[in-house]
Amino acid sequence: METITIVALLKGREGYAAQLREVLLKLAASSRSEEGCLTYVLHESRSCPEQFVLYEVWKNEAALAGHLDASHYRAYRRAAKTFIDRRDVYRLNTLSN
């Protein structure tokens, strides 16, 4: 099975950590219930309250595409654009099992 791992580094705008955290927690809860989601973990920096990391593993390309088209993901993108200063997303392949 060829899984797809996503690591997203999100830097919120200063003063918006609580609002971004709330939006991301909703996204994570909804995303975990998707059929092709194998792992979806939200991390928050201990030293920078505006810094978040999403670690996701999807069953395949179709599962990831379904996630990106899901209504909860589109709602997150609309809501979070007010709170996010920088968003870096990495699509990763697993090199070993």
Residue 36 lies in a domain: yes
Place of tokens 């392949």: 93
For residues 39 and 58, what is the distance between their CA atoms, to the nearest angstrom? 7
Q: What is the CATH number of the domain that holds 31?
A: 3.30.70.100
The residue-averaged pLDDT of 60-83 equals 94
Domain that holds residue 77: 4-92
Rounded to 10°, the helix 61-69/71-80 angle is 60
For residues 11 and 6, what is the distance between their CA atoms, to the nearest angstrom? 16
With 70 as the cut, is the pLDDT of residue 1 above it?
no
Query: What digits encode the pLDDT tens for the residues 12-67?
Result: 999 999 999 999 999 999 999 999 999 999 999 999 999 999 999 999 999 999 99
How many structural domains comprise the chain?
A: 1
Residue 97 lies in a domain: no
Which tokens in the block code for residue 42? 């939200």
Count the Cβ atoms, other than its own, within 10 Å of residue 44.
16
pTM of the model: 0.91
Query: What digits encode the pLDDT tens for the residues 3-23?
Result: 999 999 999 999 999 999 999
Residue 47 lies in a domain: yes
